Amino acid sequence: MSNIKSQLNTESKVSLSEILKSARESQNWSLEKLSAETGVHIGHLKNLEAGYFESLPPDVYTIGIIKKYAKIFNLSQEELINLYLKERAGCQLSSGVNDQLVKQSFRYFYNFRKFTFTPKLVIYLLLFLILGCFIWMELNYLILPPIIELDYPKTDLTINQPLLVIKGKVLRTKSLTINQKEIYFDNRGHFEYALNLTNGLNIIDIKAVNNQGHKSTQIERRVIYQLLAP
């Protein structure tokens, strides 16, 4: 018992939880016995002896538990309570600093939740979106290869008439040729060209070149013209 009192009277760094646990164990008291004797829930006793102040009930109730320790194990109530309040204050300060760090970490998130979209901001966002789409379309138009969508003939074929009307549409195209002859297409990319066939196999070469002249697309059709016997 004198050792425990000396711990309270010196400026050693022995914590309140160590003093209370040492006092109980020196008297061979179990936590169950102490709980039965004082009427204090055993969970509160465990938290107090472990130094888990944040898990304890309000200070008034906790100080009452400390007084019961002091009475049973003949300790100084005043010194135990002062030590508890000192350690409790340090715990709250540390917790407050941690809370402040958490709040600072999520400050931008909270500000975003409070963010208000004004009509002016919405207009700016829409303009930015339209500009982005325009740039994306222009890059595609300049960089990607052209597209040839052939409506007729879709596949190789055999016909019995000498005139073949080639129809289709081009995209991202600056120039279009059929068998090296430049073909006109309208502003929507539609084109139509009548080709005179020769008897037998005709190879039709359709080529489109993009606006920069660096990319091209080429497709081929094989058409057999067979003159029907009279």
Please tell me the predicted confidence (pLDDT) of residue 30.
93
CATH topology of domain 147-225: Immunoglobulin-like (2.60.40)
pLDDT averaged over consecutive 10-residue blocks of the chain (230 residues)?
Answer: 52 80 93 92 92 88 92 93 88 52 48 63 87 76 83 93 94 93 94 94 94 85 83
Domain regions of the chain by residue span: 2-105, 116-144, 147-225
**What are the structure tokens assigned to 162, written together?**
């000498």
Domain spanning 2-105: CATH 1.10.150.120: no
Q: What are the φ and ψ backbone dihedral angles of 47, each rounded to 5 degrees? A: -65, -35
Distance separating alpha carbons of residues 185 and 168, to the nearest angstrom: 9
Distance separating alpha carbons of residues 20 and 48, to the nearest angstrom: 8
Please tell me the predicted confidence (pLDDT) of residue 115.
55
Distance separating alpha carbons of residues 206 and 196, to the nearest angstrom: 15
Interstrand relation of 190-196 and 147-152 (parallel, antiparallel or unpaired): unpaired
pTM, 2 dp: 0.41
